[in-house]
Amino acid sequence: MEVVLKVTLRPLRSFTMAQPSKAEIQSMTKEPIEVLDDLADQVADEFEAYRQPDEFKDVSLVIENSDEERPTLIVHVDREDAESLADRIDEFLREHGARTERERHSATDVRVLATVD
């Protein structure tokens, strides 16, 4: 008795696993303070028009690290219509993997606080 097997090859559907974002990859390999430092550099580059060296800066950056487990990037917006620029900065930070909160001290004084895991 002879048994013949017929094999039909069909291409498998390709599937992709969710790829981690650049910020997620960075946070896996770097300390939060290093990730925030890189993020501060990116914010400085993206919003350099508001950070002219010879003038009063509309956007100031500070990394507050008194809590070693949860350092915070503080982006201080101090200008007329600060809220709209803070919106843009907030969106930029979230797109780059940060969690954000805001502090509004006046119409011209808004702070965006960013943290990462």
59-64 vs 99-106, strand pairing mode: unpaired
pLDDT in tens, 6-44: 555 555 554 455 555 555 555 456 788 899 999 999 999
What is the CB neighbour count within 10 angstroms for residue 25? Answer: 12
Task: Give pLDDT, residue 61.
Answer: 93
What pTM did the predictor assign?
0.71
Q: Count Cβ atoms within 10 A of the Cβ of residue 16 and give its class: 0-12 exposed, 13-18 middle, 19 or more buried.
A: exposed
